[in-house]
Amino acid sequence: MATRKKSRKKASKRKVAKKRKVTARKKAPKRRVAKRKAKKKVAKRKTKKKAKRKAKKKVAKRKTKRKTKKKAKRKVAKRKTKRKAKRKAKKKVARRKSRKKASRRRR
């Protein structure tokens, strides 16, 4: 009696295993499709991230460019003001000299 029970148990186990195999085979293409889709999703996310990073870099570059431009402009302005001051000083000295000469002539 026990042996019969055992063999029946084994048979049912085999049946279950077979069923599982069949269902696995049936669902395999679906799983494959799902895998492919998941891969595509991941790839899309990666490209999006890459694009974001690129955009950030571009913005940073633009900012630095602007900064350097501003710095250059400031430098130029400084140079101009320095030149102006020098010219003014020179004129002042020349005026003083000419005045001195004129006063001497008057004497």
User: Tokens 């595509």 belong to which residue?
Assistant: 40
pLDDT-derived band at 2, boundaries 50, 70, 90: low
Number of domains the chain contains: 1
Pairwise CA distance, residues 41 & 47, whole Å:
10
Give a yes or no: residue 8 inside a domain: no
36 lies in a domain?
yes
pLDDT digits (tens, 9 = 90+) for 36-94: 999 999 999 999 999 999 999 999 999 999 999 999 999 999 999 999 999 999 999 99
Residue 51 within a domain: yes
Domain span at residue 56 reads: 13-107
The Cα 62–Cα 73 span in angstroms is 16
- Centre a 10 Å sphere on the Cβ of residue 45 and count the other Cβ atoms it contains: 10
Confidence band for 103, pLDDT divided at 50, 70 and 90: confident
Residue 3 lies in a domain: no
The pTM assigned to this predicted structure is 0.41
Q: How far is residue 42's CA from residue 48's CA, in Å, rounded to a whole number?
A: 10
